[in-house]
Amino acid sequence: MEGEYQNNIDKLREERNVCRERFSIITDDVEKILNSFAIDEGVTMITWKELAGLVMGEIYFVNEKVKFIKTFQDKNTMRFKTYMEAGGEFGLQQHDVLDKVFIEIGHLIEQERGNKIYEKGDSVVYAPKEKHKPKALVNSVYDVAFKKNKI
């Protein structure tokens, strides 16, 4: 009886180790994406494939003032709700697909466009591979859509 118990425990331990290993790989991939969103140095390209790997409904923290949640995905579109607190900013980034940002609350200041300010109700469209670096001086909320096809 005790030998069977220990075998069951060993099996469970092995299953958990496999799960931890898979989780660690997923965590490393997510960290790479978040680092690309957060800093200007290193990799600035964040691809459709990388974004597609993010989990729907999960909160991702870019830094202490910026977070986002994936809210929708089909074969041509992904949507994210993005929250930026006053003084928050993304790192320099670009994508391999069209990126359209609708300002729901607050504003968006695009540093790569001479600090152009987009206000509530405006949309900002970034072409594929266009580098951008958004920031906000007030609490802001955005609906961000990545599209494989033109809008």
Any idea what the CATH number is for the domain that residue 58 is in?
Answer: 2.60.120.10
C-beta separation of 123 from 115 below 8 A: no
Give pLDDT, residue 24: 56
pTM over 0.85: no
Q: Name the domain count of the chain.
A: 1
Which residue range(s) make up the domain with 68? 1-151
Whole-angstrom Cα distance, residue 7 to residue 128? 54
Contacts of 73 (CB under 8 A, 6+ apart): 52, 56, 79
Q: What mean pLDDT do residues 106-135 have?
A: 97
Residue with tokens 């180790």: 17
User: What would the pLDDT profile of 53-100 be if each residue is shown by its tens digit?
Assistant: 998 998 888 999 999 999 999 999 999 999 999 999 999 999 999 999
